[in-house]
Amino acid sequence: MINLLKVTFTLFVILIAILHKNQALNIIMDKLTDCGHKECVDAKGVSRSTCVHVKIKKKLAGCVIIQDSKILLLHRKKTNWYELPGGKIEDGELSENAAIRELKEELGFDVTIKRKIGERVFQNNGDYLNYEWFLTNTQGVPKIMEPETFDSFKFVPINELKSHKLSTNMQEFLKELEAGNINLDYT
């Protein structure tokens, strides 16, 4: 009986590793409900966590644009905070394409994805969000395209981010950056 349990457990661990590596874990996460465990609320994201106890409400993607050690942020009128250009990934849409589409809708210019630089699952207003960040190269000049939502944008020195009111996503991004989990180098 003990050997059977060991074999079953080993197979379970292998299955989770395979699912996790292939990012099929997102499919499982969409089907599960919030378990309420503290360790699940604090999960660092699908790519770095074995937690599958939360139900992801929204999958989001955003563009990180760096110029002269400054990061491009939008100022949202309603909340009076700064955030990255980005938004919801539509059904069937790749996260990279969602990030590019959202930036074009919000700032009216094109970018190319350099690489994915991070991902994090976090809680916002009681919902769990999965956000992916992409380092991008710009191809144009930004202009506010959604004036009903955003009133300005600016390049904020990375070392001054904490002095601004930041969206939940930006707060999570900053945590990952400070922990050394995000590399903003373009090389």
Residue in 143, 119, 116, 142 with CA at minimum distance from that of residue 129: 119
126 within domain boundaries: yes
Residue 122's alpha-carbon distances to 44, 45, 168, 172, in angstroms, are: 7, 8, 9, 8
Structural domain contains residue 185: no
Q: Is residue 173 part of a domain?
A: yes
Determine the Cα–Cα distance for residues 124 and 167; give it in Å rounded to an integer.
Answer: 10
In a domain, residue 3? The reply is no
Q: What is residue 12's predicted lDDT score, i.e. its pLDDT?
A: 56
Does the residue 161 lie in any domain? Answer: yes
Residue 134 has pLDDT above 50, yes or no: yes
79 part of a folded domain: yes
**CATH code for the domain of 172:** 3.90.79.10
The dihedral region occupied by 80, where left means phi > 0, alpha psi between -120 and 50, and beta the remainder, is left
How many residues in total does the chain contain?
Answer: 187
Residue 75 has pLDDT above 60, yes or no: yes
> Would you say residue 9 lies in a domain?
no
Domain that holds residue 153: 32-178
- Whether pLDDT at 32 is above 50: no
Q: Tell me what the pLDDT averaged over the chain comes to.
A: 81
**Domain annotation covers residue 172:** yes
Q: What is the pLDDT of residues 146-185, one digit of tens each?
A: 999 999 999 999 999 999 999 999 999 999 999 999 999 9
Domain count, the chain: 1
Question: Do residues 45 and 23 make contact, with C-beta atoms less than 8 angstroms apart?
Answer: no
